[in-house]
Amino acid sequence: MILELLNYSFFKHALIASLLASIICGIIGTIVIEKRLVLMGGGIAHASFGGIGLGYLLGFEPIIGALFFAVGSGFFLNKVQEGHNSKKDAIMGMFWATGMALGILFISFTPGYPPDMTSYLFGDILTVSKGYLNIMAGLTVVLIIVIIPFMSYWKSYLLDPEFFQVIGYNKKFFDNILITLVSLSIVILIKVVGIILVISLLTVPPTIAKLHSKNISGIMLLSSLIGLFLCITGLLSSYMFNIPSGATIIILSAIVLVINLVIKSKK
């Protein structure tokens, strides 16, 4: 069946998108888990919907608007997370709702019939275009160049940030790079599983990998392989049963996570 599907360009694009998404999740997802940025990542994802709505309203590519909103909200939420405000969880939660509300408001102001937002909200990996693949590939290359050659620095930054500063490295510089990469990754993955589900795709494979490896590099590699398995298996299942691809990938991810947690608890 797979060989027959490879005759279709949309399926080839979906397979390539699965590979690139798994690498992105493996690298950035591991960092998100280690830095405990899951809540902030959810805020960035939902805030980006405001940029998508603005893109439709003003007539430019919605994903560009999502990128600006995501990066801007990422830096703001990072400031909130670093602070000592007792209400920072509430502020982050506000971003989830505000970003979605702005997107809905902008779309309601868009002339003509309202656009179909299903692919942005829930994803549709089967509709990924060649141009979008180029964007995903570009981000993947950037991640590999920025993270892999400097892995020793990133490990120190993630595991012992105080010592990282004591020995003279600029933690703020790494913070800024990280927030930018997390924001870009979240927006790029929106087309795969959607705004509502993206944070799950970003965090579940690394969480599973962390059950079996304690080394950062090992977690990234194993997470990428797990993500690839989940994306391809979910993609094939969604095609066979004619069900939404994004939701299928996430449900499969949840099942695999639960199985691994049960197995680990019995050891």
Q: Kindly tell me the burial class for residue 96, based on how many C-beta atoms sit within 10 Å of its own C-beta (0-12, 13-18, 19 or more).
A: middle
What digits encode the pLDDT tens for the residues 14-30? 889 889 999 998 999 99
How much is the average pLDDT of 118-123?
A: 82
pLDDT at res. 85: 63
Cα(27)–Cα(97) distance, integer angstroms:
28
Residue 267, helix vs strand vs coil: coil
Q: Is the per-residue pLDDT at 87 higher than 80?
A: no
Q: Is the per-residue pLDDT at 1 higher than 60?
A: no
pLDDT at res. 111: 85
What's the angle, vertex CA 222, arms to CA 138 and CA 133, rounded to 5?
20
Percent of the residues in the chain that have a pLDDT greater than 90, as a whole number: 32
What digits encode the pLDDT tens for the residues 212-253? 888 899 999 999 999 999 988 988 888 888 888 888 888 999
Provide the 8-state DSSP code for 140.
H
pLDDT at res. 69: 92
Percent of the residues in the chain that have a pLDDT greater than 70, as a whole number: 96
What are the structural domains, with CATH classification, of the chain?
2-258 (1.10.3470.10)
Read out DSSP for 173-227?
HHHHHHHHHHHHHHHHHHHHH-TTTHHHHHHHHHHHHHTT--SHHHHHHHHHHHH
pLDDT at res. 210: 92
> Which residue carries 């398995």 as its tokens?
229
Cβ–Cβ < 8 Å for 29, 205: yes
Instruction: Give the pLDDT band (50/70/90) at residue 86.
Output: low
